Amino acid sequence: MHYDLYYWPGIQGRGEFVRLVLEDVGAEYTDVAREPGGMKKMQAALAKGLEGVRPFAPPFLRAGKIVLAQAANITRFLGERHGLAPASEHGRLAASTIALTIADLVAEVHDTHHPLTVDKAYETQKAAARKRAAEFRRGRIPKFTDYLERILAANGKVLVGRSISYADLSAFQIVEGLEYAFPKAMKRRHGKMKKLLALRDAVAARPGIARYLASTRRLPFSEEGIFRHYPELDAK
């Protein structure tokens, strides 16, 4: 199966959660909007739909006649299709629960630099962003990382089952993103998230992921994506 991934070119964003799964399982895929003429194809798909499905926004994925959107939904689809998910219904639902919770965290990260509106630049809402980021550092980073750490303490080296799943890949990306956006705040958390950091390292060492991270396909974090490093929003 060849997949078509539709996401904004030039940034990792939410599309990166999907890319990590595709790269880990060695799937053949086209990052459509990074190809010549790809942005027009993506815009046409958003305007007119694909296979009768009209995604609200990227990322969305085409797998033959199947089209689906929402990062956590796509990673679940791919994980279950390619053996990167628990076999039992209980495990599959548990993995989805964690992935959707991580998606909530991603939205909160975005709102630290765009707390008022997504339609205006960060520079127009700096004062509100400072307040939002301070609360995020104080309360939300500990809440979410403690949640994942407790799951690992109860389950073992991975979040669900006995082997790495797409939920673990999502946890890897959220840790990497938080480390980039809030390095000072995250450094102070390291002693309380040792299992989560160990999981991050285990995911990074997987052959498919390691190759991807060393390639030009893995774009760097930047101040154009979801995870942005503005020193004034990090801990003092």
For residue range 58-67, list pLDDT tens digits in order: 999 999 999 9
Q: How far is CA 214 from CA 27, 65, 205, 220, in A?
A: 17, 32, 11, 11
Residues 6+ apart with CB under 8 A from 197: 175, 190
pTM beyond 0.85, yes or no? yes
Q: H/E element holding 28?
A: strand 28-31
Residue 186 is predicted with a pLDDT of 97
Residue 234 is predicted with a pLDDT of 97
Do the Cβ atoms of 57 and 46 come closer than 8 Å? Answer: yes
For the chain, list the domains and their CATH numbers: 89-206 (1.20.1050.10)
Tell me how crowded residue 117 is: count the other CB atoms within 10 A of its CB: 10
- State the 10-residue block means of pLDDT for the chain, 236 residues long: 96 98 98 97 96 96 97 98 97 98 98 96 96 97 98 98 98 98 97 98 98 97 97 90
Maximum distance among all alpha carbons in the chain? 51
d(CA 171, CA 197) in angstroms, rounded, equals: 10
